[in-house]
Structure 1
Amino acid sequence: MRRQNLALVLRDVAARGPLSRADVAAGTGLTRAAVSSLVEELHAAGLVTELGSAPSGRPGRPGRALMVGDRGPAGLGLEIGVDHVGACVVDLRGEVRAWEHAAAPNRDRPAAETLPALARVAARAARTAAALELRPAALVLSVPGLVGAAPGRVQHAPNLGWRAEPVVEPLRALLPAGLRALPLTVENEANLGALAELWHDPAATDFVYVSAQAGIGAAVVADGRLFRGARGFAGELGHVPVHPDGPACACGAHGCLEQYAGEAAVFAAAGLAPTTDDPIATLARYASDGHAPVVAALDRAGSALGTALAGAINLLDPAGVVLGGAAAELGEWLLPAMRRELAARVTIRPWAPEALTASALARRAPLLGAAGMTIHAILDNPITHAAGSG
């Protein structure tokens, strides 16, 4: 009960602060005496801080204003992408306090060559956090592949060329001493992107999130919770067949969505050679200039995405669909064709065009989701940190 009440108070302060103790009592339904005791425990753990007087409009001496702390426990998110590595630190207020990003040619690169670069950006983010008096409570790593139930391994990341690849212990050995003892988990990038969207807009509790760049993944949020499937592999939208007699896919099937809407497919359809520059930015630049082959290729990709998503919508009945990841930056050219296909194929129920949107978080979402997982774990269970604060 105390754990639940600590979480109740901490989440109320995080959502509505700054608040007085009286405001927290009114918002949570707890007695003022109970709130005062809980706040003292949260304050001792460095989870809330007092800012000064908080006028309440009620008679008597004003209370002290409470806010979640901008020091103390924090989330450290890590990311391996096909062409980059990244790290970020988020505090209990949900504010990004450190952001590190480095180009890295990770496609078909062994983990032993990728992880040292990731460890370096993690170390830089950790140094920034320390200077801000923030201490990471856990690390979450985002990867563009299937994670599943095997602890510490990436089950399959085709664009990295990894299969059953151990990453947790090899990465831990490369991290600075202050990070090695922390919990370290691995998560699929689309799942993390979906969680970031959920936390960015808590009112959106039922949606399909699509993450597209080199590959195409998806995640399903239902009733405010991530749906993982029986083995943790839910969301493999990129291998839904769009045209069963289409070209062969690396997965062994034919006509998969990635063969029409993946980054390489769009470049090929537009007649462009692969580039070492940012591929999505390159496509956006060409499309903005009115380059007809690129505009046509993006329209074709949007049509394929809409076709695949229509089946997901008919099956799952989500309230909305969010186009996320780097592909959100191409929404101007992808969304019209996607909406056209959805209008034609989602016929068993009303479907509003505005229910399909491009993410405002775009390619930042997976890394924000990775750091946010730790923050939300603390908000849900602050007693663990309160117990270890002394």
Structure 2
Amino acid sequence: MAVLWHCQEVTETRTVGAVRQGSLRELNLAVVLRRIASTTRPPSRAEIAADTGLTRATVSAVVDDLIAGRLVTEADPAPRTGAGRPARGLLLGGTGPAGLGLEVNVDYLAACVVDLTGAVRHHEVRRIDLRPLSPADALTGLVDLAGRARAAADDAGLTLAGAALAVPGLVDARGLVRLAPNLGWRDVDVPGLLAGHPALTDPVDGVPPLVVENEANLAALGELHARPGGPESFLHVSGEIGIGAGIVLDGALFRGSRGWSGELGHVPVDPGGPTCRCGARGCLETYAGQEAVLAAAGLAGADLPADTAARRLADLAGSGDPAALAALRAAGTALGVAVAGVVNLLDLDTVVLGGGYATLAQWLCPPVLAELDDRVLTSGWSPVTVRPAALGAESAAVGGAGSVVRRIIARPSGWLSRPQ
């Protein structure tokens, strides 16, 4: 399967003072595994020793531990071109730990499994309008989906080492969903509601069993790691019934002082505009959210899931339907107004359109770019790139699962020390 993210870089680690033997082993495991994860060409033991400054004996011992723990596997050697035995390259293993990515959105539940190589090994979406359901009932449905994902992981020889749950709302550090206006959730204790269900994952030291995060943030992380060598700073806009944004600055997610950054859908584009579900007036969602665009295209009340709605709009726009084209042009204009403010404030050079917007990028990009050209102070000599997301509508769940796997790569000793 295709690799959907890569470890961005090997972080050089320096120690000060005496280091205990156990700590030194933990450090060496992390250095070697990150080196293997950071390259597209499988490195040999000798190359790792040369790159890291570790002795060949140390690298060999560390690699043996990583192979025994199913974190690393050996590649077939290249054909010999000279004297001596060809060295075998080292690859991340595809039958060891995996991350579980979960998503609760307004009209669907999703679960996916991503292995250590970044390949998506399982992905399932259940279409359901969650607005009439209580949070407890919605999460019960998610647990059922997670159970099927776990069974698929077991069948593939994978062990789920942690889970990340994406929610379209404001989430605090404890996993409490303070507000998800499009779901009608307020102060929902997601970890508490899930505590009464069977564990979703196996315990691994250093990996939280469950992280609850804003869906746009996890989508942005998924995009960051889906494009090795891509921009280190960008705005990822997830457009579905709600509109959220993940902000990546210098390769790191910017959450804000309380972790609630990125609520782009509630940035006003017209102070006298229609009332939003949040109670304010003229929010971007009332102009460029899925329901607003469908209504403008003559599809009000169609009650379509996010991906189906995007495909329906794309089909209509592709056939030249005047109402659909006008609706997308108006949505793109409103989106461009809001995004221009973010670009002016943060000096970003890339805007990524995710969720349903990825499918509609062909029609949304021109009006968004037109507004950026008109409104961004530096556009004359430093134009902004606007493009669809690499992962499309799957980015939040895949980004969540990938965040679990990257924790293991950063600290493999936790996985290796788990009870067998």
State the TM-score, normalized to the length of structure 1.
0.93
2:146–2:200: 8 Å Cα contact kept in structure 1? no
Number of residue-to-residue matches in the alignment: 389
Give, in angstroms, the shift of residue 13 of structure 1: 1.4
The structure 2 residue matched to 1:364, chosen from 390, 394, 397, is 394
In structure 2, the residue matched to 1:75 is: 99
Q: Which residue identity lines up with residue 177 of structure 2 in the other structure?
A: V
Q: CA RMSD in A?
A: 2.1
Q: What are the superposed Cα offsets for residues 44-101 of structure 1, whole Å, 9 maximum, x if unpaired?
A: 3221122444568675333333211111111011111211111111111001111122
Q: Which residue identity lines up with residue 98 of structure 2 in the other structure?
A: A
Give, in angstroms, the shift of residue 139 of structure 1: 0.9
In structure 1, the residue matched to 2:405 is: 375
The structure 2 residue matched to 1:192, chosen from 210, 213, 218, is 218
Unaligned stretches of 5+ in structure 1?
none
Q: Which residue identity lines up with residue 38 of structure 1 in the other structure?
A: V
In structure 2, the residue matched to 1:218 is: 245
Q: Which residue identity lines up with residue 134 of structure 1 in the other structure?
A: L
Unaligned stretches of 5+ in structure 2?
1-23
Q: Which residue identity lines up with residue 42 of structure 1 in the other structure?
A: L
Matched, 1:239 2:262: no
The structure 1 residue matched to 2:123, chosen from 85, 94, 99, is 99
Give, in angstroms, the shift of residue 2 of structure 1: 4.0
In structure 1, the residue matched to 2:194 is: 171
Q: Which residue identity lines up with residue 12 of structure 1 in the other structure?
A: R
Instruction: Name the SS of the counterpart of 1:235 in structure 2.
Output: coil
CA separation in 1, counterparts of 2:381 and 2:209? 42
2:71–2:96: 8 Å Cα contact kept in structure 1? yes
Q: What are the superposed Cα offsets for residues 349-370 of structure 1, whole Å, 9 maximum, x if unpaired?
A: 5466561111121101001101
In structure 1, the residue matched to 2:19 is: none
In structure 1, the residue matched to 2:30 is: 7
2:175–2:213: 8 Å Cα contact kept in structure 1? no
Whose helix proportion is higher, 1 or 2? 1
Instruction: Name the SS of the counterpart of 2:89 in structure 1.
Output: strand
Q: Which residue identity lines up with residue 323 of structure 1 in the other structure?
A: L
Matched, 1:133 2:157: yes
The structure 2 residue matched to 1:260, chosen from 270, 283, 287, is 287
Give, in angstroms, the shift of residue 32 of structure 1: 1.8
Matched, 1:153 2:203: no
Distance 1:192 1:57, change over 3 A: farther
State the TM-score, normalized to the length of structure 2.
0.87
The structure 2 residue matched to 1:43, chosen from 67, 78, 83, is 67
1:122–1:175: 8 Å Cα contact kept in structure 2? no
CA separation in 2, counterparts of 1:361 and 1:51? 28
Matched, 1:114 2:141: no
Give, in angstroms, the shift of residue 344 of structure 1: 0.5
CA separation in 2, counterparts of 1:154 and 1:351? 42
CA separation in 2, counterparts of 1:138 and 1:177? 8
Matched, 1:202 2:228: yes
Q: What are the superposed Cα offsets for residues 297-316 of structure 1, whole Å, 9 maximum, x if unpaired?
A: 11000000000111100100
Give, in angstroms, the shift of residue 340 of structure 1: 0.5
In structure 1, the residue matched to 2:361 is: 331
Q: Percent identity?
A: 48
